[in-house]
Amino acid sequence: MTRVGRWAADHAVLFVAGLVLLYMFLPVSFVVLMSFNDPVSRLSYEFQGFTWDNWRNMCAPAGLCSSLLTSIQIGLAATLGATVLGTLAAFALVRHRFRGRKATSVLIFLPMATPEVVMGSSLLALFAAGGLAGRLGFWSILIAHIMFCLSFVVVTVKARLAGLDSTLEQASMDLYASEWTTFWRVTMPLVFPGIMAAAMLSFSLSFDDFIITNFNHGNTITFPMFVWGAAQRGIPPQVNVVGSLMFLTALLLVLVSTGIGRRKQAA
Amino acid sequence: MSAVVGGLTDAARGTATTPTPTPISRRKLTGYFLLLPALAWLAIFFAVPSVQLMATSLYDRSGSLEYGYEMTFAVGNYPAAWTAYATQFGRSFMYAGIATVLAIFLAYPLAYAIAFRAGRFKHLMLVLVIAPFFTSFLVRTLAWNSILADNGFVVGSLKTIGILPEDGRLLASSVAVVAGLTYNFLPFMVLPLYASLEKIDLRLVEAARDLYANGFTAFRKVTLPLSLPGLVAGTLLTFIPASGDYINSQLLGTPKQAMIGNVIDRNFLVILDYPMAAACSVTLMVAIVTMVLFYVRRSGAEELL
């Protein structure tokens, strides 16, 4: 092979990877761009002029900010519930031997392998059979969100726990720390990043869920429900502001957390 | 200072109260106790609803949500659902299958580049893969809707190059729906692929090259088989949600691109034909589980389950 040919072959994979990343970023860039758009009519999605107005009056479209608040409330409550229940279960699965482990693992794995339509519709079937179809709302969304976040928490925390060096705990016990002290001073600090990751994953799953929520929301409007409703009439540019804000927040969180992780590794 | 004191007092207490290791039976009970809340939650809000869904699929269709349904073990709901929605079932699996294959071809080079070629940009590239997916799923799909719109720059430039005919369009077509599905589930392919590529011992590839395998053969005989677990996991994580999705077909397609998710959604929430909707839902689940089991057996990756 010639030198040029070899160079091209060597870098082809990088070039393709770059194109794929571009594909992944195209819609996000579009969302950020459109958050500064000054549209003439509600139905036009072309960029017509630059303005800060959408960012300044984020809550201008009726119902947008209240739906955002509902989503944040549900997200926080679902994260708390799923993280606590899931972490306890992960400890049980890694640290304790008991009968029915196999069946338990299957029950935890199944929700992740089930399409959301099936989960959402079966919960609705249950609520309807219980005569609750007319009273769905905040509580039913919360129940559903805790349910589908739970498995992801168990898997995430379990992975962290399983990779834990148990000699550290043995050392602690050898130095006369009680089980309780060892747990809080050694085990917990080591598992905590896993729990944090699980909580962040839960929040983003809950905050972004549309399909399961759509089946069980009653009259409660979460942010994705608001966007869905607005999509039928024309999306207000402020929706893109929220999308951009979410993107920036997530990027910041990920960069900060990996930054901290790396500094700890270096230290 | 206080930490040391606390540690010492705790240590003292520890030796005083637990002279022997905790008895096995108590530890066993603790395990059940820790597990119980999560299991109960999943049993009540996942397992029971699944059974209720199956029951609902066998209700008599002449009932209604208002006056209640009668349980008549109406097995006939299933053939009725299959004949009425055969095209949507077929379309769902076809779209999801094409999107999964496309995702493999897009994700593999990206995962490979991150694992072996990114150098010090590895971390940054991983962040870049995940970051877009924190922006709302719906907002991103709506962005595709505008990008592919008839008067948008993508359609315009494709027309100028001549790939698209003068009256051609991308939005409201199968192409748009499949592109949307591929895009939305791409990171679920990239991340497991990256995870298994990254673990590969590069000396194995060097050994293959030393034994006169060319780059392609080394890839086919060493790298690809070793990345198989990631490939299988990625396929499942892409195919399963894609076949049940209806947001892409709703926002990027027309009723002509309706998938089975649209049918289930409409029957439950608009037409209010619960038995029919439940029969579709159960069929989708059974079909997916069957395909997944078959696929996992064939690819020899049972340990994933």
Write the secondary structure of B198-240 as one string of H (helix), E (strand) and C (coil): HCCCHHHHHHHHHCCCCHHHHHHHHHHHHCHHHHHHHHHHHHH
Give me the phi and psi of B71, to 5 degrees please. Answer: -85, 110
- Whether A241 and A61 have beta carbons less than 8 Å apart is answered as no
Q: Which of A116, A122, A135 to mutate to test the interface with B (most CBs of B within 10 A)?
A: A122
Question: Helix-strand-coil percent breakdown of chain A, rounded to 5?
Answer: 80, 0, 20
**Beta strands in A53-185, from DSSP E residues, in sequence order:** none
A171 in reach of chain B (CB within 8 A): no
Determine the distance in angstroms separating the CA of A104 from the nearest CA of chain B, rounded to an integer: 8
Tell me which CATH homologous superfamily contains domain B77-304: MetI-like (1.10.3720.10)
Q: Would the CB atoms of B128 and A210 count as touching at under 8 Å?
A: no
Query: Is there a single domain that holds both residue A199 and residue A249?
Result: no
Residues A129 and A141: their CA atoms lie apart, in Å, by 17
> Is residue A33 domain-resident?
no
Give me the phi and psi of B217, to 5 degrees please. Answer: -65, -40
The closest CB to that of B48, out of A30, A93, A126, belongs to A126
- Whether A33 and A45 have beta carbons less than 8 Å apart is answered as no
The closest CB to that of A250, out of B43, B134, B149, belongs to B134
Residues B31 and B46: their CA atoms lie apart, in Å, by 22
Closest C-alpha to B190, from B80, B88, B105: B105
Residues A187 and A74: their CA atoms lie apart, in Å, by 30
Asked whether residue B83 carries a pLDDT value surpassing 70, the answer given is yes
B63 in reach of chain A (CB within 8 A): no
**Which helix H or strand E contains A193, and what residues bound it?**
helix A188-208
Query: Is there a single domain that holds both residue A126 and residue A206?
Result: yes
The pLDDT tens digits for A34-91 are 888 887 665 556 677 788 888 888 888 888 899 999 999 999 999 999 999 999 999 9
Query: Is there a single domain that holds both residue A199 and residue A84?
Result: yes
Residues B267 and B59: their CA atoms lie apart, in Å, by 14
The pLDDT tens digits for B166-185 are 777 788 889 999 999 999 99
Q: Which residue has the tokens 């990345």?
A: B227
Query: Is there a single domain that holds both residue A240 and residue A160?
Result: no
B271 in reach of chain A (CB within 8 A): no
> Is residue A37 domain-resident?
no
Cα dist from A224 to A64, B137, B142, B253, whole Å: 10, 8, 12, 19
| Mean pLDDT, residues B98-121 taken together | 92
The pLDDT tens digits for A132-169 are 888 899 999 999 999 999 999 999 999 888 888 888 88
Determine the distance in angstroms separating the CA of B229 from the nearest CA of chain A, rounded to an integer: 16
Query: Is there a single domain that holds both residue A114 and residue A79?
Result: yes
3-state secondary structure of B95: helix
Query: Is there a single domain that holds both residue A240 and residue A207?
Result: no
Q: What confidence score (pLDDT) does residue B6 get?
A: 35
| Mean pLDDT, residues B85-110 taken together | 96
Residues A215 and B267: their CA atoms lie apart, in Å, by 11
Domain tally for chain A?
A: 2
Q: Would the CB atoms of B131 and A246 count as touching at under 8 Å?
A: no
**Cα distance between the two ends of chain A:** 46
Q: Would the CB atoms of A92 and B34 count as touching at under 8 Å?
A: yes
Residue A70 lies in domain: 62-228
Q: Which of A54, A67, A126 to mutate to test the interface with B (most CBs of B within 10 A)?
A: A126
Could you tell me if residue B172 is left (phi over 0), alpha (psi between -120 and 50 degrees) or otherwise beta?
A: left
| Mean pLDDT, residues A182-203 taken together | 90
Q: Which residues contact B199 (CB under 8 A, 6 or more apart)?
A: B226
Cα three-residue angle A170-A173-A178, rounded to 5 degrees: 140
Q: Which residues contact B255 (CB under 8 A, 6 or more apart)?
A: B262
Query: Is there a single domain that holds both residue A89 and residue A177?
Result: yes
Q: Of B57-66, B97-106, B199-208, B285-294, which range is least confident?
A: B57-66
Residues B232 and A80: their CA atoms lie apart, in Å, by 32
Query: Is there a single domain that holds both residue A66 and residue A89?
Result: yes
Taken in order B255, A232, A227, B252, the sign of the CA dihedral is positive
Task: Please report, for the domain that includes residue A108, its CATH number.
Answer: 1.10.3720.10
Asked whether residue B46 carries a pLDDT value surpassing 80, the answer given is yes
3-state secondary structure of B136: coil
> Is residue A22 domain-resident?
no
> Is residue A40 domain-resident?
no
Question: How high is the ipTM of this complex?
Answer: 0.86
Residue A42's beta-bridge partner residues? none
